[in-house]
Structure 1
Amino acid sequence: MKRIDLILNKLKEIKSSKPDGVSASELAEELDLMRGNVSNDLNKLVAEGKAVKIKGKPTLFIAVDEEAKVSDISVINKFSETNPSLYTALEQAKAAILYPPNGMNILLLGETGVGKSTFASLIYKYATEMMVRSKESPFITFNCADYANNPQLLLGQLFGVKKGAYTGADFDKAGLLEKADGGILFLDEVHRLPAEGQEMFFTFMDRGVYRRLGETESERSAKVLIIAATTENPDTTLLQTFTRRIPMVITIPALRNRGVEERFNLIKQFMIEESGRLGRSIKVSINSIKAFLFYDCKSNVGQLKSDIQLACARAYADFLSNRKKEISISSLDLPTYIREGLYKEIEHRQLWNKLVDINKRYCIFDKDEEKMIFEENSYDENIYEMLEMKTRDLKAKGIKGTEFEKEMENNIEDYFKKYITKFNYKVDTANLETIVEPHIMKVVEKVINFCEEELKRKLDKHIYYGLAVHINNAVDRIRRNKKIENLELNNIRKQHSREFNIAIDVLKILEQSLDIQIPVDEAGFITMFLIYHNEALKKTYNNVKVIIIAHGETTATSMADAVNGLLGSDYSRGINAPIDEKPQITLEKIKEYIRKNNIDSEILFLVDMGSLATFGREIEKEFKIKTRTIPLVSTLHCIEATRKAMLGYSLDDIYRETLEVNNLYDNNSLDYIPETSEEKRLAIVTICTTGEGSAKAMKGILERTLKFESSLLDIVPVNFIGKENIYDRLEKLSNKYEILCIISPFDLEADYIQFKLDHIIAGNASENIQDLIDREKVYIKMEETLEHQLRNIDGKAIVKDIKRFCRNVTKAMNIKLTSNALIGITLHMAVMVDRLSGNEVIETYRNKESYIRENLELYRLIKSECALLNTKYTILISEDEICYLMNLFTMKNRVK
C-alpha cells in the first residue's frame, strides 16, 4: 500500500472520533511518518477531492464521504469550475437550453480560436444531460466558410436539393437541417452565409418550416435548435431580420482576458489529452509551463492547443528516435515565440500558489491520473533524481574537474548520512511493507544474508530498511527505462574495494532473482550502504529558526504569513523594518524577539537588502548563535527555507539548498549527445563440413545450454564446403559481427577463440563460452556506465581499447580474470585515460621502484601494452599508473 493510501485510510478511520478534523502533525505522529510527507500527501488528497482542508491554526483535514458525494455533476458546472471567466456565458447557455418549449437559438461571438466550437459542443452535452434532447439526438457542425465561394452549393448543403434544381442536381438530396431534426445544428462562420440564406433561416426559426432548393409547392418541417457563431460584428455582417430571431447572444472572452489560473487549467487539460493520445505520461518542465502561461498567444485557445500538440509531437519523436528516454518537454525545446513567455514582466504569484512545490523541476501529466503530479526530486525520496539535478546545476555553473568530483562526492556522502538517519527513527517493518513490493523484500533478505556472510558481521536493521527502499526505487527506475548514474563510481571502488566487490556480486543476485539488467553504477550506491556502521546512524534532527526581515510596514510579516499559510504551519517569523526606522532599532527588535522566546538554536536570516544583511554577525557576537544570511529573497526562497527547516535539515544544508532556488530553470538540454552509428552484434560461428545441417544442430545445442539475450548475440551456422573460401566468409562475417568464438571440427588459422565440435557435444566447452558471453555483457554495461563518467574521451571507444588491452595481457600471462576484476580494471583505466587527456594529476604509487623490481616482467608487459593508448589518446601513462595497473592483474583478481 502506498503512503498516500495509508494516510487516506487513517483519515477515514478517525473521522468518527474526530469529526472536526485532524492536523498533519497528529496524523504523522499516529502513523510514525515524517510530518512534511504527510502534509504533502494530505494536500494531494484535497486536490483529488478525497479530503477537505479546514483553514485555521492548525490546519485540519477531514476525509470526504465518497458515498455521499454527488456523482452526477453537470458537465457545464464542471467546466465552470476551471473556467470562471466563462461563468456568465455558461449561465446564459443553460438558460437558453432549458427555455420552454424547445430552447432558444444562440449566437456565439468571439475572436478566432477562443473556443466557440468547444462551447457549442458543451451546450449539446448539457442538453442531453438535462434530457431536453435525447442522447441519440444529432449534433451537426457546419462551417459556412467552406462553401462561401459557391452560395448555391452552400444553401444546398444546408437545406437540401430537389432533383433538377440546378445543373448537376441529378437526384434529391437531404440537407443538414433535415439531418439535424430533433437535435442541434451549429453554424460556424455564419457571417459567410449569403443574405438569401439568412432570410431562409429566419423563416425556419420563425415557423419551423423550410424548402429544399428547387421545391416550390411542399414545405418541410423540423425541430432544430440553431447555434450560430461569428468572429465579426453581427451588426455589420448579419441581417437584422436574422439576428432578431436569435434572442440569446453570448460573448466568449479572448484568452488574454481569462486569467493565469484558467490558462493553467487549459494547459493541464490539453497535456492530459495528449497523454491519452500518446498512451504515455508527458513530463513538462516548470519553465515550459511558465512559457505556455505567458507567451503572446494571438490565436487564443486554438493556438494554445495546437502549440501544445506540436511540442508533444516533437517530444514523442525524440522519444521514438531514442534521443530521449521519455516523453519530456524542456523550455529549450520550445519555439522562440513561446519561450519569450519566460521573459514577460507579468505578475505570476497565482502560478506559484498553484504550484506550491515549485522546487520540483517537472510536472508529469498522465491520462490515467487525470491530474498533474510533480516529479519527486528531493533526496528524501530518491538519490537518482537528486544527483541528476546536481549534475545539471554544476555543469550549468561551469564547474568541472576535481571541483566537480568533490561536489558530487559530498552530495553522495550527505545523502547517505541523511537517508540512513531517516530510517533510524522513522521506519518500521509495517511501514516498510507499504513501500516495498513483497517479492523485492524477499530478494533483499537474500542480499542481506549474502552481504553479512561476506562482511563477517551483522548489518544493522536500519541499513536493511534503507537498502530495501533503495533497491525498490532502483528496480522501479530501471522498469521505467530511466538511467542510473553514479559519477563517483570509480572513487567508491578505489576507497572501498572490498565492499564494492561484494556489491558487484549483489547486482548478480538481483539480476538473476528479478530478471532485469542493472547498470554497474548501482554497485556504487549499494557499497555506500555496506560501509555504514552503527556509529554512523546517530539521529541528527536540527531546529533551525527562519526569520524574515524586510523593509516596509508589513513586508516581512506578509511574506511569513504567506509561507506559513502555504505550508500549513506557523514556523517562519517576519520582522518588519519600516523605511523611516533606523537599522539599530530594527536590530534591537530582533534581539528582543530572541531573548523573549529563549532562542538558542541556529538561525537563518532571509533579508531583502542593505544593512539588514549585516545583522547576522551582530547576533552571532551577542548570543553566540550560529547564523547564515541570504539577501535579495523572494517568497519562493522563504518557502524553500521554511520547508527544509521543518524537515530538520542543518543550517548549512538549508542555506545551500535555498540558494539553489535561483537555479530552478531546467538545464537538462545543455548536454549534447552525438549520434552514433549502429553497433556490431556479437556472433558465435559454428562450422561443419557435412552441410549446414550439422552447423544448425550445433546452433540448437548452444541455444539450449547457453544463457544470452537474442538482442545481444547471434549463432551463425557456416558450411566449410562452398563457393567461397572459409576465411573469406569469416572476413565478410566480421564486417557485420564481432566474432566471439568459432566452433569447428578442426583448427583454423584465424585470430579467434576456437572450440572443437566434440567438446560442444560432450558439454565440456559450454562453461568457457558462457564466460565469454558474460564478459561481453560486462563490457556493454561498462560502455553505458562510462557514457556519463568521462569528460574528455568517448566511453565506447575506450572500452574497446581496454578490452583489447586486457585480452593481450591475460593471454600473455596465461590467466583469466573474474568479472568483478574486469569491471574494476575497465573503470580504472577509462578514468585514468580521461584524466590524463584532461592534463589532470595522477596519484603517486608508494614504493614504486621496489614494486617494479620485484615484478619486472609484468611491468614490461603492461608498459608495452600501454604504448597504443599513449599514441591514440596523446597521453603518457606514468610508471605510477603502470604500477596501479600491475596491481589490478595480480592473483586476487584471477579466476581460480
Structure 2
Amino acid sequence: MKRIDAVYQKLKELDKGPGVSASEIANSLGLSRANVSSDLNKLCKEGKAVKLGTKPVLFKPIQEISQKSERTSLDKFLEKNPSLFSAIEQGKAAILYPPNGMHILLVGETGVGKSMFAELIYKYAIEMNRFDQNSPFVVFNCAEYANNPQLLVSQLFGAKKGAYTGADFDKIGLVEKADGGILFLDEVHRLPPEGQEMFFTFLDKGIFRRLGETDLERSANVLIIAATTENPESALLKTFTRRIPMIIHLPSLRERSIEERFNLICQFMREESNKLGRPIRVSINSMRAFLGYNCPNNIGQLKTDIQLVCAKAYADFVSNKKENIQIDWIDLPSHIKEGLYMETEHRQVWNKLLDINKRYFIFDKSSEENIFFINQDSDGKNIYEMIDIKMHELKSRGLSGEELDKEIERDIKTYFEKYFYDVSKTIDVSDIENVVGAEIVRAVEEIIKFSEKRLNKVLSKEMYYAMAVHIYTAIERIKRNRKIVNPQLNKIRTEYSEEFNIALDCLKIIERVLDVSMPIDEAGFLAMFFAYDGREIKEQKKNNVKIIVIAHGASTATSMVETANSLLGTKYAIGIDAPLNEKPQQVVSRLKTYLRENGIKSDILFLVDMGSLTTFGEEIEKEFGIKTKTIPLVSTLHVIEATRKAMMGHSLEEVYEETLNVNTFLEEERASSKTVGEIKEKLAIVAICTTGEGSAVAIKNVLVQHLNYDNNIFEIIPINLVGSESIYTRLRNIEKERRILCIVSSFRIDTSVPQYGLHEVLSLEAIKPIQRLIDIENTYIKMGDTLENQLKNINSKYVLQDIKMFINAIENELNIKVNTNALIGIALHVACMIDRLKGGGSVDEFMNKESYISENYELYNIVKKACEILNKKYDINISDDEICYIMTFFNYKNILK
C-alpha cells in the first residue's frame, strides 16, 4: 500500500469528531509529520479530503461524498444543460465549502430558471449529506414587502408580541424556519437598504433579533441563496454583496445551445403528459417551431407556452375534435409558428435532432429521448471561446498593440500543441461520424484528400479527428450568430502562406458540402492544423508555481484566498494571516514551518500587503534554495489572476508579469456588451427582357440554377422593357436600395455596370464571369468582417473600399484578374500595412530590393503609382520595401483566374 493510501485509511479511521490533525495520523502510523501533511494536502486536491480551520489545521475524509456524488441531481441536470457547467461547478463548490457552505447570489434574466437552480442546489446539499433529508427550503419573494420595511423585518426575523400594532403573539420569522437548511431570497434587489443592512450581522455571525427584542440574541444556521435580474453592483449594497462571495450567472435561453433547448422542450412535454395521464403527440414541424421561435422571457416563457399549447390540445381531445392529445403546427399561436421560418439553424441540425421518417414525437411518463448530442471538446473549451475570453481579459487590462498580439499568438500556438496532444490520447476515428455527423465527416474527408494532394504528404488520423471536431465547433458557433475572430490572421497568412492558401480553398469545400458561409478568419485556424500536423507533440509538464498570500490582519490573507479559490473552483492559493500584534519574524517562522511540512520546493509568488512582508522572499530563497518573486499591495483581483495563471502552468516570471499588469479595478468596467451589426450592402443582378416579364423570369431561373450566391446579399431582379417607365428610371429605382452588380440584356445599356447578353446566359458562357463577380463581392464582404477585428488605427469599412480601388487600378494596368484567394491575401496585407504605418510601426527590409525592382520595373511603376492614392488618403509613406512586398502578390501566375 502506498503511503498516501495508508494516510487516507487512517484519516477515515480516526475521523470521529470535528477533524483529524496531521500530527495524530503521523503518530499513529509512525511517519514524519511533514510527509503526512503533504499527503493530506494531496488528498484535498484530489477531492478525497477537506481542510478545516487554521490553528490547528484539521482534515476530514469525503470519500463517501465522492462516491455518492457520481450521479447527483446536479450531475444529471448538467448532462442535458452543458452550458451551465460553470454555474453547476460553482454551486457544488459553495455547498461543499467548509464548514457550513458559502452564501450564493444567482444572477440572470427573467425566466432563466433561478428558482429551479436554487432547488437543485438544495437537493444536491441533501445528497451530499450537508443537510438532513428533512431540512427546510424556505422561499421568500422580497418584492412582496419591498415598500413596508417593518413588515419585511417581521417576515424575515420574526416579531415579539406587542412589537407593533396587531402583533398579538410572538411570531417566528423565515430565518428561524430555515434553520438547518436554505433560505431562498427571490428578487433580492427589491430588498430595501434597511433590509439588506439587517442581514449583515446575520450573514457575518449567524445571530439575529426578532422585531421588538432588545435583550435576546437568537442564532440560526442558514445558507442564503439570493436571486436577482439586476446588476448586483448597482442594485445591491456593496456591503451586502461582499458577504455573498459566490456569484453565479445563469445564461439566457438564447445563449444556450439548440440541443439544450430541445431537451427542455422534451422535459416540459413529459411533465404535461404526466399531469394529463396520457401521451402527447407533437408533430415534427411543431418541434421545429418550438426550437426556433423568439422566446424573450426565456425558459419560463417556453414552459408556459408549452403548457398553454398542451391545454388547448387537451381541450380538443376531450371535446372529441381529435382522437389523441395531439399538437400540430397549424394549431400553434402565431408567435410560435414563426419559429419554423427562423433561419438560425440548417438542415443538418434537424437531421441530428429529429428522425425525418417520423411525423410525430410521442411523449409520456416513460419516454426518454434517445438523441445523441455532441460535447464539442473533451474539456468543454474550444479555440473560439479561448480567444474570446483572452481578448476580453487583455483589453480590460488595457493591453493593446504588440503586447496583445504576442499574448494571443502564444495562446493560439499553445492551444494547437495541446489540442493535438489531447487528440492523440483519446482518438477513436471509427466513432467520429457519431460525434459530428455524416455531412461533416464527408466534408473533412474531401478536405483531407484535397490537402494531401496540395501539401504532397499524408495527414495523420489525429488531424482527421481534430479537424472534424473543430469544424463542427465552428459551424455551431456560426449558427448561433457568434463571430469567428482570428487576431493572428495576417501573421498566419505570412508565416504559413502555403497552408493558408490551401485553407482558403478548404473553406469553399465546407461551404459547398455543408451549405454554410465561412468567414475568412477560419482559414487561419485551418492553416494551423496543416502547419502543426506531423510535429512531434510532447506532453508539456506544467510549472508548479505556488501562490502564497501574506497580509496583516486576523483574516485578511485567508479571506482573499478563500474568495479567489472559491471563484476558481480550486484550493490552489495559500493564505497566511499576519496579526498586527505578531512580529514579522514570527510570521516568517510560521511560513518556513509550512514550507517544510508541506515539502514545497517549487517556485513561489508571494502576494503581500506592505512593510517587512516584502522581504520574506529573499529570506526564503537563501534558506530553501527556491526561486521567489514578491508583489506588494495585494488585492483579491491580484490573487485570482496569479492563481489562474499558475494553474494554467505559466512560469514564475510569466505569472509575476501577468499579475503586475492587473489593474486595481475600483469600479466595474462600463464597457457596453451590445454591438450594433452593420447592415450588409444589398447587391442585384438585373435581367432585362423585351418580350415580357415572363421571359425575364425565365432568364432569372437559369441564373438561379447555375449561380452560387447568398440570398441575404444578392438578388436577381427580372424586369421587362414594356411599360411607361424608361429602363433607366427603373434601374435608378433599383439603385436606391441595391447596388447593381451586372445586367443581363438582349441590348446594350449606357452604363458602366458589366453587361452580358441573353444568348451568353442561355449558352452558360456568362455563368463563369458572373460567378466571379459574385465571388469577389463575397470576398470583400467577408474581408470587411475580418478587418474589423484586425485593424487598430484605421476604419476597416472605409479602408476596404480604398483597397478595392487600389487592386482594381493595378489589375487594369496589368490587364489581369486575380483569383479570390490572392485577393484575400492582397487585401489583408495592404490593410495591415496601412494600419501599421498609420500607427508609426516599423518596415521590414525587402532582401535584394534594388535588383528585384530593376527586374520588374514596369510592375514597380504600376504599384508605386497606385500606392500614391493610399499615401495621400492616409497621410503615410509606402516605402520601396513595402512596394516590393506588394509586387510579389502580382508577380505570380497562380493569381490569375
TM-score using structure 1 length? 0.60
Q: Which amino acid aligns with 2:187?
A: L
Equivalent position of 1:367 in the other structure? 299
Shift in Å at residue 606 of structure 1?
Answer: 3.2
Aligned to 1:520: 520
Q: Does 1:346 align with 2:347?
A: no
Q: Determine the structure 1 residue equivalent to 2:766.
A: 765
- Report if the CA contact (8 A) 1:377-1:386 is conserved: no
- Whether 1:493 and 2:493 are equivalent positions in the alignment is yes
Distance 1:442 1:491, change over 3 A: same
The answer as to whether partners of 2:552 and 2:580 remain within 8 angstroms in 1 is: yes
Aligned-partner residue type, residue 83 of structure 1: V
Residue 475 (structure 2) aligns with = 475
Structure 2 counterpart of 1:764, which letter?
E
| Secondary structure, counterpart of 1:20 in structure 2 | helix
- Residue 600 of structure 1 corresponds to 601
Counterpart-to-counterpart distance in 2, 1:45 and 1:299: 27
Distance 2:563 2:125 in 1: 31
Does the C-alpha gap of structure 1 residues 725 and 895 become closer, same or farther in structure 2, counting only changes over 3 Å?
same
Matched with 1:44 is 88
Q: Deviations over 1:370-427 (max 9, x none)?
A: 99xxxx9999713334433443444445443344433433343344344444445566
Q: Distance in 2 between matches of 1:754 and 1:78?
A: 81
> Compared with structure 1, are the counterparts of its residues 743 and 377 closer, same or farther at alpha carbon in structure 2 (3 Å cutoff)?
same
Q: 1:841 maps to what in 2?
A: 842
Superimposed CA distance per residue, residues 825-884 of structure 1 (whole angstroms, 9 cap, x where no aligned partner): 111122222233334333332222222221122222222223333333333333222222
Task: Indicate how the Cα distance of structure 1 residues 340 and 737 shifts in structure 2: closer, same or farther if over 3 A, else same.
Answer: closer
- Point out the more displaced range, 810-819 or 590-599: 590-599
Kindly tell me: are residues 296 and 25 of structure 1, through their superposed partners in 2, closer, same or farther at Cα, counting changes over 3 Å?
closer
Between the aligned partners of 1:24 and 1:619, the Cα distance in structure 2 is 42
Aligned equivalents of 1:645, 1:435: Cα separation in 2: 33
CA RMSD between the two structures: 5.5
For 1:115 and 1:441, how far apart are their aligned partners in 2? 66
CA contact (8 A) 2:141 2:186 kept: no
Contact 2:95/2:125 (CA < 8 Å) preserved in 1? no
User: Which segment drifts farther, 550-559 or 840-849?
Assistant: 550-559
Q: Distance in 2 between matches of 1:347 and 1:363?
A: 30
| Structure-2 separation of matches of 1:575 and 1:545 | 13
Q: Distance in 1 between matches of 2:151 and 2:764?
A: 75
Q: Which structure 2 residues correspond to residues 263-662 of structure 1 after superposition, within 5 A?
A: 265-266=186-187, 340-341=234-235, 344-355=237-248, 366-367=298-299, 381-423=381-423, 425=425, 436=436, 439-533=439-533, 535=535, 537-542=537-542, 543-552=544-553, 556=557, 571-634=572-635, 638=639, 641-642=642-643, 645=646, 648-652=649-653, 654-655=655-656
The structure 2 residue matched to 1:83, chosen from 136, 139, 152, is 139
Kept in 2, the 8 Å contact 1:546–1:645? The answer is yes
Q: CA deviation at 1:788?
A: 2.3
Q: Distance in 2 between matches of 1:24 and 1:429?
A: 34
1:797 matched to which residue of 2? Answer: 798
1:497 Cα deviation after fit: 0.9
Contact map agreement 2:146 2:190 (CA 8 A) in 1: no
Question: Does the 8 A contact of 1:424 with 1:539 survive in 2?
Answer: no
Contact 1:603 1:626 in 2 (8 A): yes
Equivalences for 1:3-402 in 2 at 5 Å? 20-22=64-66, 44=88, 81=137, 83=139, 112=147, 265-266=186-187, 340-341=234-235, 344-355=237-248, 366-367=298-299, 381-402=381-402
Contact 2:551/2:609 (<8 A) preserved: yes
- 1:457 match: secondary structure: coil
Change (3 A) 1:811 1:659: same
Q: Residue 786 of structure 1: CA displacement?
A: 1.5
Change (3 A) 1:702 1:607: same
Q: Given the superposition, is the C-alpha separation of residues 634 and 680 from structure 1 closer, same or farther in structure 2, using an over 3 Å criterion?
A: closer
Matched-pair contact (CA < 8 Å) for 1:383–1:415: yes
- Deviation of 1:492 after TM superposition, in Å, equals 1.6
3-state secondary structure, aligned to 2:823: helix
Aligned-residue offset at 1:781: 0.7
Three-state SS of the structure 2 residue aligned to 1:800 is helix
SS in 1 for 2:187: helix
Runs of at least 5 residues in structure 1 that lack an aligned partner in the other structure: 1-10, 12-17, 32-36, 58-63, 72-76, 87-107, 121-232, 237-242, 268-291, 301-330
Is the contact made by 2:196 and 2:240 (CA closer than 8 Å) also made in structure 1?
no
Amino acid at match of 1:620: E
Secondary structure, in 3 states, of the residue corresponding to 2:605? strand
Asked if 2 retains the 8 angstrom alpha-carbon contact of 1:392 and 1:667, the reply is no
| Post-superposition offset of 1:886 | 1.6
State whether residues 691 and 720 of structure 2, in contact with CA within 8 Å, keep that contact through their aligned partners in structure 1: yes
- How many residue pairs were aligned? 647
In the alignment, the residues of structure 1 paired with residue 619 and residue 248 of structure 2 have an alpha-carbon distance, to the nearest angstrom, of 37
Q: CA deviation at 1:758?
A: 1.2
User: Which residue number corresponds to residue 103 of structure 1?
Assistant: none
Give 1:824 deviation, angstroms.
0.8
**Residues 298 and 859 from structure 1, CA distance in 2 versus in 1: closer, same or farther, beyond 3 angstroms?**
farther
Structure 2 residue identity aligned to 1:770: Q
Corresponding residue number in structure 2 for 1:684 = 685
Aligned-partner Cα distance in 2 for 1:663–1:380 = 30
Please state whether the residue corresponding to 1:83 is helix, strand or coil. Answer: strand
Distance 1:445 1:405 in 2: 33
Paired amino acid for 2:137: E
Paired position in structure 1 for 2:38: none
Kept in 1: contact 2:686–2:743 (CA 8 A): yes
Q: Is residue 885 from structure 1 mapped to residue 897 from structure 2 by the alignment?
A: no
Kindly tell me: are residues 606 and 504 of structure 1, through their superposed partners in 2, closer, same or farther at Cα, counting changes over 3 Å?
A: same
- Equivalent position SS for 2:743: strand
> 1:887–1:563: structure 2 CA closer, same or farther, 3 Å change rule?
closer
CA apart distance, 1:734? 3.8
Q: 1:84 to 1:725 in 2, by over 3 A?
A: closer
**Corresponding residue for 2:262?**
none
- Superposed, 1:816-855 pairs within 5 Å as 816-855=817-856
Deviation at 1:695, TM superposition (A): 2.5
Separation in structure 1 between the aligned mates of residue 440 and residue 474 of structure 2, nearest angstrom: 11
- Aligned partners of 2:487 and 2:242: how far apart in 1? 37
Residues 863 and 522 from structure 1, CA distance in 2 versus in 1: closer, same or farther, beyond 3 angstroms? same
Q: How much identity, in percent, do the aligned residues show?
A: 41
CA distance in 1, matches of 2:579, 2:123: 53
- Report how far residue 823 of structure 1 moved: 0.9
Separation in structure 2 between the aligned mates of residue 366 and residue 418 of structure 1, nearest angstrom: 37
Aligned partner of residue 246 in structure 2, secondary structure: helix
Alignment CA distance shift 1:377-1:389 (3 Å):
farther
| C-alpha contact (below 8 Å) 2:397/2:663 kept by paired residues | no
Deviation at 1:476, TM superposition (A): 2.0
- For residues 460-500 of structure 1, the C-alpha deviation after alignment (integer angstroms, 9 at most, x for no partner) is 55554444443333222211111111222112211211111
Query: 1:847/1:19 Cα in 2 relative to 1: closer, same or farther (>3 Å)?
Result: closer
User: 1 CA distance for matches of 2:146 and 2:592?
Assistant: 60
Aligned equivalent of 1:669: 671
AA partner of residue 812 (structure 2): K
Deviation at 1:773, TM superposition (A): 1.1
CA contact (8 A) 2:638 2:659 kept: yes
Query: Which residue type is aligned with residue 20 of structure 1?
Result: E
Flag the 1:621–1:493 CA change in 2: closer, same or farther, 3 A: farther
Whole-Å Cα distance in 2 between the matches of residues 688 and 78 of structure 1?
Answer: 81
Contact residue 393 and residue 663 of structure 1 kept, 8 A = no
Q: Evaluate the alpha carbon distance shift between residue 591 and residue 775 of structure 1 in structure 2; reply closer, same or farther with a 3 A threshold.
A: same
Q: Distance in 2 between matches of 1:588 and 1:439?
A: 65
Pick closer, same or farther for the CA change 1:525–1:846 going to 2, 3 Å: same
Q: Distance in 1 between matches of 2:859 and 2:241?
A: 68
Per the TM alignment, residue 818 of structure 1 is displaced from its structure 2 partner at its CA by 1.8
Larger radius of gyration: 1
Secondary structure at the aligned position of 2:64 is classed as coil
SS at match of 1:779: helix
Q: SS in structure 1 opposite 2:741?
A: strand
Report deviation, 1:553: 5.7
